[in-house]
Structure 1
Amino acid sequence: MKTEVKALVVGGGAVGTGIAYHLARAGWDTMLLERDELTAGSTWHAAGLLPLFNMGYATSHIHAYSVDFYKTLEAETGLNPGFSVVGNLRMAQTNDRMDEYALYAATAETVGIPHEWLTPKDVKDRYPLVRTEDLKGAILHPTDGYINPADVTMAMAKGARQHGATIERRWQVDGYSWAGDHWDVAVTRMAERGGNLVPTDEQAVIRAEHVVTATGNHAQRTARLLGIRTPAIVVEHQYIVTEPDPALVEWRNAGNPQHPVLRDADAKWYVREERGGWILGPYEQKAPARFPYGVPDSFRADLFPLDLERIEEEYMSFIHRIPSSEHAGLKDDFNGPICYTPDGNPLVGPAPGLRNMWLAEGFSFGITAAGGTGHYLAQMMTEGEAEIDMASLDPRRFGSWMTTEYAMRKNEEAYDHVYVLHHPDEERPAARPLKTAPCYDRMKAHGAQFGCVNGWERPNYFKPGADADFDLTSRSFRRGKWWQHAASEARAVREAAGLIDATAFTKHMLRGPGAAAFLDWFTTNKLPKVGRINLTYALTEAGTTRTEYTIVRLAEDAFYLVSAGAWQAYDGDYLAKAVADNIDRFGMMHLEDVTGAHGVFALAGPNSRAILANLIRDAEPETALSNKRFPWLSQRRIELLMCPVNAIRVAYTGELGWELHHPVEMQNYLFDRLMEAGAGQGLTLVGARAQNWLRQEKSYRAFGSELGRDATPLEAGLDRFVDLNKDFHGKDAMQAHGIRSRCVTLLVDGPDDADPWGREALYDANGDRVGRLTSGGYSVAFGKSIGMGYVRPELTAPGTKLKVRMQRQLWDATVTEDSPHDPANTRIRVDG
């Protein structure tokens, strides 16, 4: 066995072999270790489905790559991966489900995934064994289907070897040690004795520059060895195999093709043909999480005891949908582990706090994702970044506050939500509330309906008189019942004043003699002077946007950095590593995460100055909030009665306003005083949804939407925040990209009952797809839908006419000038 490699992949399931294949194909000296046999984990008992259907942009790309890649493996390796390209038919029993499919299709369209719509009659004509009288319609993806998990894994393994990779079985990793420029990985030879896998006396240490863990069910053990936390915990998943169905056998003997993979999402199951019978896979409620602290040594390619009563409802609905299946007896059944994460998406990317350690864990659809994960992760490792933004799958999206109990409850929820209607405004209730700002109860008493950001409860909107934590009746694929409340809140900000809880913002303090020089190199914009602020960006090595920061300069060597609340661990880990790497270059620095120490209220609107004037204590209160003493984009320490506040004159809504950063222990006192002072000024509590609409009226880009690792700040139209006269990290790579596409704001003449969500495809007058939306909503200023997105550079001129696909129809959309509401920023700069 080799003891020195460029990249070591740990785990020999479909995901691990897919990664090893692509790293080896990229030219890296790669070795894969498997503690047992290839496919011995969840791969061996997977049903092998390849669903292209996914709401996530990155995940859709990953699945689409896999499906295309698997079709090439036999020609390359000589091994047939067992890909049956039968298509994938999703049926809908309700109009809401058809709306969901329309939104899924919008994402598919931006990725280039083919699909077609079928009526119930179409389904019945093509597949007469299926009962259709209670269906509303269906969507068919003709290019996917199912594959043999073991065969595709072996084909990728052979392809990896052909590209120079080494694959070693029966070696278990027992320890990882970082040596400054490489990993020393301690391994032990395993042997089978009495049906169990046991360690032998044969041991070795492998030196690897990079390590990738793809350990599947063993993710908890891997995390312990690395000294990190992971939410990847398995959940039980049952499926059954029937004896031959006589009607199906007759259908096939008559020369008819296989049925596509059939999904009745409202009944919570999938089914496909198997040797004249059917494989039924339900996603029932109350499937338990298992092995929260690691898989027992005695558990190999084993299964759990069956609990068929738990899936009785799904089995009966299967018979309803395919009546002939009632005459097919049960042939086999499985109850095996399938790994999940709290949001159902895998963990792909750098391990938090570690160098050259990459995670590929938590795959609930591992067969579908294996090829694409290998492709895009190999790009990240070998080229510095993937061609698509992988932030939504980054392992650091879950912070260190996460516990085992939290992960178990959320993973169980993710499992039983596989076929629940996925509204784009959905909020899942498990393990909530958990992280609450002190004002949570006060906000709740005012009717706050909360969303969850990085574990924090944050008001989405306010429903007067409501006392429920989760207003499930307000969700919709169109304008839900919450829409009217968000519209009222947005108007209040434009006409009077709004108060927004922004406590979830990520906040870091950076101090020290090297801080200024470091930040000047680390970010794209000029550094602000003391008492001033700047918006700026940190770039990836590939020159794309890694993080957006508001930098407040408190002193020559002290900086307060504010970034997106959803990305606390993601930003913190990247920043901490960059600081540590550059202390010798720039000088001593001290970085501290102060997110939990400071609450934040955003006060915005034309009456916001008058509200603060009632509270401020200053030697010259009449001028304390004037442009002369407190100009736009500046920061001051002020006193609001008995609460000391670090006030920043900036507003994400585009109105006169301040962010009030305060000691979190004084938050309720400050909240009460603000509400009292605002009672006569039209002060309204405002949630995140109205704020999202308002920032689009100002063309303010949002991280995770317009800003990400697949576009540069220049492509995002943020040239004014990039100082090309200085050197900064990623500058050369950014300029080498050129302008591949441009971010624009569009006003949409859409339907009366729906707005874009930010997943929709854009078309030009010739019907050619020219871009996609990244955000969407409603503009109270213009009385119509609004959106932001990326188009080809020649289509960015204001007045350009485009089309946007919403609810299966094309609607007129017009490119506007940047910041269509108050483009001169007169409302923000107004004096008083």
Structure 2
Amino acid sequence: MNAAPPSETKVVIVGGGIVGCSVAYHLAKLGCKDVVLLEQNELAGGTTWHAAGLVGRLRTTNSMTRINKYSAELYAGLERETGHSVGWKQVGSLIVARSQDRMTQLRRTAAMSEWFGVEVQLISPEAAREKWPLLRIDDLLGAAWLPNDGKVVPKEVALALAKGARSRGATVLENVRVIDVLCRDGRAVGVRAQFNDPGTGEVSPQEPTPHQRAQEFPGTARPSPSPGGEGRGEGERVLQSHFQSRRLASSGNAEGRPRTDDPRVVASADTFDIQAEFVILTGGMWTRQLGLRCGVSIPLHPVEHHYVVTEPIDGAFDELPVGRDPDLCIYFRGEGNAVMLGAFQALSKPWMVERVPANFSFRLLEPDWEKFAEPLKNGKWRIPALESCRFAKFVNGPESFTPDNNFILGETPELRNLFVAAGFNSVGIASAGGAGKYLAEWIIEGQPTVDLWSADIRRFGDWANNRRFLRERVTEVLGLHYQMSWPNREFESGRGLRRTPLHERLAAAGACFGVKNGWERPNWFARPNTQTGTPATHHASRLTPHEDRFADNPAPDYSFGRQNWFANHAAEHRAARASVALFDQTGFSKFIMKGRAAVAVLQRLCGNNVDVAIGRTVYSGLFNERGGIESDLTLVRTGPDEFYIITGTAQAVRDSDWIRRHIRGDEEACLVEVTGAFGVLGVMGPDSRALLSRLTEADLSNAAFPFGTAQRISIGPAMARAVRITYVGELGWELHVPIEQLALVYDTLTDAGKDLGLVNAGHYAINSLRLEKGYRAWGAELSPEDSPLEAGLAFAIDWNKPFLGREALLKQRTSGVRRRLAIFVLEDPDAVLWGSELISRDGQPVGYTTSGSYGHTVGGAIAMGYVTHSAEPTAEFLKSGRYEINVSGSRFAARIHLRAPYDPERKRILT
């Protein structure tokens, strides 16, 4: 039975699935013994117990691959360490391809895996059948073999991790439900909990708080409760548990935070509080609703996910590899002398439940044979022996999915010391070990020890936590695991949430929209006589036929080669170089920083000197203590104690959180986000001055309005803050306009620019233009693991003032770096680069491309990428090598550039 819960501890973990147990294990392993894990029912009883147990090492990014590689290594030795068997079998995995496009994807995967340190072999269909003798191969073109992948029994992994945590002093308590997070002064300071009835897992029902109700989409219909009970979606039936959990108990004591008197949480006779310095939410599909109770946005939603297990059939299958046929959306593996068959269908089914029931432990949803009909048909095609099989088990278990198919990790921006690890999108078993390790390090070190941006909770704003949006988006997300990983693939569901006032005008001009941080942004424009594809219903409405707001707009024709917008993109790119182009950049994140301490705070955070004259702009990085780049931004000094700050579309929450957390309590400084208050129009190109001069009385000459300055000017009948900067490498201005005047300014510009050849241009053109000019992008070339010295941004550092990360960078400047960012242009003008291609120097891998496009001015595919060397890669070393870039399995010769291949002297910008 459970020991009495302590009244205080250093860390309390809410949720005892494999992720929560992993966090507890790794915290204890790092020496933090004052850890209490609370599970509302029994360990592993949520999603963990019914997971398929697949442990693949390779992911799409280096950091995510690092997480999975560590998990596999951990599981392989966990039984030896804890004495608890986890069922680890290194059986390898097999991915088969039945189309040329899938083979291309596998070739790209195999090339990148070489740099990630994961062994991948491309093999023939016959070799694939040798590894899985029951496979049908007459329609296959090849396969990828990953010999170091494996499988586990997920529930046993969780129990082993809990045992390992307990042996190091952590406390593990079952049947304790957390009903609220205690908070004070913007920090989590503990939890309020109550004991469950071990027989039912039931506790007193908790009504949604007003905040909770406010977070739901207005007008969202509530599904009628099924006969099974309140809160269950239509058609749900709770089945008998297949397993019984073991109980783990221990006692512990620790130092904690003072007790909170938060009036929002009312204690009762059957509740108790645990004070804690850190609270970690690892409650899987329950995490969102707990977050709502304390005002924290955690966008995830449960989805029904299925697999079946055959009755025993002739043969031994347990040592066969995990098989995947993404073209048929199925996976399969042996389970003793039976076969498990699962699916990642293109369209999935959200679990339509208003609140995940507290007692949903070791339970499943009703089998949905109708939904599983196509995967079953496909499974019988790939493994003909299944035709005559009966199925002993149908597992329909809910799993939590996020809006972008990456899990959620890190400290919440709303509450300090509240961390989340949830929403694992069916990779929770493969990722739990590494996620637990790196989250534990984050807590102990006070910052992530590796680049975790793709999983960072701060990549989402409140817009993403809307339940109607989540239900629509997750129908698509589950299937993305097996859909083709096309370059520039856009989400098709849950679109249209954040639109600028120009949306209808841009749509009428032929915009093909993409989405970033919820913003609909033009990627490219279709024009008469230039579109090579066929107009079609825009991809944003394919999965939601009731939404036709994008009908008749062009659709991308995805491929790994030149896509159907190539000619359109070329026209936009060349217009910016030769005449003038107009970009809607309203999605840029924008802030106003003001207060008597504004200069002091920004001087402390920014590597560059921000104490400049009013009206000057400053480009600067924000660095962490290790010297890594947390963000890069542009600041406009608008007053003695005021700055207007511009940063990337995706970085709104991240950057505001970073700056705010570094404002000291005694400093008078305030940061306010104004992204939605101002639209941004980029007027770029050699004729930009001529165009704007027609519309303003301001003097736009180089002497009166030099580069790197900002002025308030008139644009026709409207006013704008004109900022003379560029992200495309041409003369130009960004016009920051009050949102209510954005359409007026756009119309004024388009009317006045007709005879100058003004064209609408999209973000694909911005990408190719900035690559030719060598401009870095945060999230691609820049990350918390990259330093400004490696990235070639030392010019934007003022070494004569203190700033966060300065000591680490000074040491690096003395000792030298081991990698440098460079620009590459392919010699073959017909090849295409997208990013994530292997770079070789003199036949040896040295890095990979961080982003890519086609440089229509330089006449070839262009990319950036880091070159790594055992010693400092000097300019002489870099220039002396022979470079090749692996494009879908073929190596193409590339020229390296250490300066921008286009206008390296900046003459076109400074004119």
1:100 aligns with 2:105: yes
**Counterpart code for 1:405:** R
CA distance in 1, matches of 2:817, 2:873: 12
Find the counterpart in structure 2 of residue 440 from structure 1. Answer: 503
1:648 partnered with 2:723: yes
2:501 equivalent to 1:426? no
Change (3 A) 1:393 1:660: same
CA–CA distance in structure 2, aligned partners of residues 347 and 645 of structure 1: 38
Q: Which residue is equivalent to 1:275?
A: 336
Q: Does 1:682 align with 2:744?
A: no
Looking at structure 1, the residues matched to 201 and 793 of structure 2 have their Cα atoms a distance apart, in angstroms, of 59
Cα distance in 2 for residues equivalent to 1:184 and 1:577:
20
Q: Which residue does the alignment assign to 1:761?
A: 838
1:14 has 2:18 as partner: yes
Q: Which residue of 2 aligns with 1:505?
A: 588
Structure 2 unmatched runs, 5+: 205-267, 529-534, 540-553
Aligned position for 2:681: 601
1:154 aligns with 2:222: no
Gaps of 5+ in 1: 619-623
Counterpart secondary structure, 2:858: coil
Determine if the alignment matches structure 1 residue 227 to structure 2 residue 295: yes
Per-residue CA deviation, residues 472-525 of structure 1 (Å, 9 max, x unaligned), is 552112221122221221122111121111000000001121111111112110
Which of 521, 530, 545 lines up with 2:604 in the alignment?
521
More divergent stretch after superposition (49-58 vs 307-316): 49-58
| 2:477 corresponding residue in structure 1 | 414
Is the partner of 1:72 in helix, strand or coil? helix
Superposition map of 1:250-269 within 5 A: 258-269=319-330
Q: Which residue of 1 aligns with 2:135?
A: 130
Alignment partners' CA distance in 2, 1:731 and 1:7: 31
Write the letter of the residue equivalent to 1:732. Answer: E
> Residue 902 of structure 2 corresponds to which residue in structure 1?
821
| Number of the residue aligned with 2:254 | none
Alignment partner, residue 571 of structure 1: 655
Alignment of 1:295-694 (within 5 A): 295-364=356-425, 365-402=427-464, 403-464=466-527, 466=535, 468-470=537-539, 471-527=554-610, 528-579=612-663, 582-584=664-666, 587-618=667-698, 624-694=699-769
Which one is further off, 416-425 or 366-375?
Answer: 416-425
Which of the residues 34, 43, 48 maps onto 2:48? 43
Deviation at 1:178, TM superposition (A): 2.7
Cα separation, 2, equivalents of 1:407 and 1:13: 23
Work out whether residues 13 and 36 of structure 2, in 8 Å CA contact, stay in contact via their aligned partners in 1.
yes
Post-superposition Cα deviations, 1:767-815, rounded to whole Å, max 9, x if no partner, equal 4332222111222222122111222263352524333222123332332
- Cα offset for 1:751? 5.6
Matches of 1:693 and 1:47, distance apart in 2:
42
- Identify which of 348, 356, 380 aligns with 1:287: 348
Q: The residue matched to 1:460 in structure 2 has which SS? A: strand
Q: Deviations over 1:533-566 (max 9, x none)?
A: 0101112233311121100011111100000011
How many positions carry a matched residue from both structures?
A: 812
Q: Distance in 1 between matches of 2:578 and 2:54?
A: 53
For 1:713 and 1:801, the matched residues in 2 are separated by 25
8 A Cα contact 2:45 2:361, kept in partner: yes
Percent identity among equivalent residues?
A: 36
Q: Hey, what's the Cα distance between the residues in 2 that align with 1:796 and 1:348? A: 37
Instruction: Give the distance between the partners of 2:808 and 2:274, measured in 1 at CA.
Output: 34
TM-score, normalised to structure 2, is 0.86
Aligned residue identity for 1:788:
M
Per-residue deviation, 1:437: 0.7
Q: Could you tell which deviates more after superposition, 602-611 or 380-389?
A: 380-389
Question: In structure 2, how many angstroms separate the alpha carbons of the residues matched to 1:628 and 1:732?
Answer: 38
Q: Are the equivalent residues in 2 in contact too, given 1:385–1:709 (CA < 8 A)?
A: no
**CA 1:179 to 1:722, structure 2 compared with 1: closer, same or farther past 3 Å?**
same
Q: 1:459 to 1:182 in 2, by over 3 A?
A: closer
Classify the secondary structure of the residue corresponding to 1:378: helix
State the secondary structure of the residue aligned to 1:218: helix
Residue 468 of structure 1, CA deviation: 4.0
Alpha-carbon spacing, 1:78–1:346, altered in 2? closer, same or farther (3 Å): same
Structure 2 residue matching 1:71: 3-state secondary structure: helix
Give the letter aligned to residue 482 of structure 2. Y
Distance 1:425 1:190, change over 3 A: same
Helix, strand or coil at the partner of 1:459:
strand
1:777 aligns with 2:777: no
Distance 1:143 1:201, change over 3 A: farther
Which deviates further from its counterpart, 559-568 or 23-32? Answer: 23-32
Deviation of residue 453 (structure 1)?
0.9
Offset at residue 182 of structure 1 (A):
6.3
Distance 1:796 1:680, change over 3 A: farther
Q: Residue type of the partner of 2:566?
A: W
- Structure 1 position 436, deviation (Å): 0.8
Query: Is the counterpart of residue 697 in structure 1 residue 746 in structure 2?
Result: no
> How much has 1:205 moved relative to structure 2?
2.0
Q: What is the alpha-carbon distance in structure 2 between the residues aligned to residue 753 and residue 19 of structure 1?
A: 49
- State how far apart, in whole Å, the 2-side matches of 1:628 and 1:753 are: 43
The Cα of 1:197 is off from its aligned counterpart by 3.6
* Conservation of the 8 A alpha-carbon contact between 2:823 and 2:899: no
Q: Which residue of the partner structure matches residue 283 of structure 2?
A: 215
2:572–2:765: 8 Å Cα contact kept in structure 1?
A: yes
- Aligned partners of 2:325, 2:827: CA distance in 1, in Å? 30
- Which residue identity is paired with 1:390? L
Quote the offset at 1:676 in angstroms.
1.9
Deviations 1:704-763 (A, max 9, x none): 011111112222211111111101123223434565443422324366554222212322
Q: Deviations over 1:2-24 (max 9, x none)?
A: 33322222111111111111111
Q: Is the 8 A contact 2:586 2:681 kept in 1?
A: yes
SS at match of 1:325: helix
Tell me, in whole angstroms, the C-alpha distance in 1 between the residues paired with 2:377 and 2:640.
Answer: 70
Query: Greater CA deviation, 465-474 or 140-149?
Result: 465-474
Q: C-alpha separation between the residues in 2 aligned to 1:472 and 1:449?
A: 6
Is residue 192 of structure 1 aligned with residue 273 of structure 2? no
Which range moved further: 99-108 or 320-329? Answer: 99-108
Q: Decide whether the 8 Å contact of 1:504 with 1:565 is kept in 2.
A: yes
Greater shift in the superposed pair: 271-280 or 167-176? 167-176
Structure 2 match to 1:183? 189
CA distance in 2, matches of 1:132, 1:106: 24
Contact kept? 1:756, 1:785, Cα under 8 Å: yes
Give the 3-state SS of the residue equivalent to 1:417 in structure 2. helix
Query: Structure 1 residue 461: deviation in Å?
Result: 1.0
Which stretch of structure 1 is more off in the superposition, 527-536 or 541-550?
Answer: 541-550
Partner-residue secondary structure (3-state), 1:474: coil
How far apart, in 2, do the equivalents of 1:192 and 1:501 lie? 58
User: Within 2, Cα distance between the matches of 1:209 and 1:295?
Assistant: 28
| 2:264 corresponds to | none
Taking a change above 3 Å as real, the CA distance of residues 467 and 807 of structure 1, as seen in their structure-2 partners, is closer
1-structure distance, mates of 2:407, 2:347: 21
Is the deviation greater in 51-60 or in 22-31? 51-60
Report the Cα distance in structure 2 between the residues aligned to 1:457 and 1:281, rounded to whole angstroms. 34
